[in-house]
Structure 1
Amino acid sequence: MNPSLIFRSGALITATGISFGAFGSHGLRSLSPPIPEQKITSWNTASSYLIYNGLALLAISFHPGLLGASRKYRLASGLIISGAAVFSGSIFALVLGRGERFKWLGPVTPLGGVGMIAG
């Protein structure tokens, strides 16, 4: 993974988090049947974590270690990207699926958290 790809990934993840956060604050409340407030809170948590991890990727993309032979920054970036996708994506699916259709994703969510922490 090169610095440019990491930067673009960070920008995309941050923009997705902001967009999904806006949808969570406005769009989710207008769905029928209404989504419970607790699930909207979960949605907003997932959106926030996307933003945080996107910003982390943006910061990593400017680290001079990426231009050298060190692989640790590339590994960290991959773990952050995959962890954020699994963590936030599973929460989004659980909220939109109303918990029943994607119930199996509940135990998967912490794996994304582990990926983000490892990154």
Structure 2
Amino acid sequence: MKEVVLTFGGVYGTLAVIFGAFGAHALKKQLNEEQLASFETGVKYQMYHAIILIISGIVFPFLTVGQQISGWCFIIGVLLFSFSIYGLVLTDAAGKKLKFLGPITPIGGLLLIIGWIMFTINLVQIANYLN
């Protein structure tokens, strides 16, 4: 699991840089301000969670279910949250908005919240064990 978390952290981080550059340069002329802001939100959240995945992969051994839940919530949460935003923005800009993606975004957000709660619980448990 540790390798999976670290790999997703690296892949998500790489893609966040690529998507950020793509949004800032290639899409800037095709998206309105609201669409560009939404796209940037997806990129920011993806990068934040790429970083926390890498931190998690360094800090946690992923021997407990709680640590594994945290990792999977971050991995799946980013996929649902950020990538649904990208899909919504790009299809809206093309005039064919995929509305079914709208309800997926908050599910991803909920998974990210659960991931942070589990991350915090696991971090406190490790800190207590070390003290």
- Alpha-carbon offset, residue 64 of structure 1: 4.0
**DSSP-derived class of the 2:20 partner:** helix
- Alpha-carbon offset, residue 107 of structure 1: 2.0
Candidates 70, 75, 86, aligned match of 2:69: 75
Name the residue aligned to 2:114: 118
Candidates 38, 52, 72, aligned match of 2:48: 52
TM-score for the superposition, normalised by structure 1: 0.88
Mapping 1:21-36, distance limit 5 Å: 21-30=20-29, 34-36=30-32
Task: State the one-letter code of the partner of 1:105.
Answer: L
Name the residue aligned to 2:57: 61
Name the residue aligned to 1:104: 100
- Alpha-carbon offset, residue 65 of structure 1: 3.8
Give the number of the structure whose residues are more often helix, by fraction. Answer: 2
Candidates 27, 30, 39, aligned match of 1:43: 39
Count of residues paired in the alignment: 113
CA distance in 2, matches of 1:27, 1:96: 12
Off by >3 Å, runs of 4+ in structure 1: none
TM-score for the superposition, normalised by structure 2: 0.80
Q: CA RMSD in A?
A: 1.4
Percent sequence identity over matched residues? 30
**DSSP-derived class of the 1:62 partner:** helix
Q: Which structure: larger Rg? A: 2
Runs of at least 5 residues in structure 2 that lack an aligned partner in the other structure: 116-131
CA distance in 1, matches of 2:37, 2:49: 18
- Alpha-carbon offset, residue 23 of structure 1: 0.7
Structure 1 residues 64 and 111: CA distance shift in structure 2, 3 A: closer
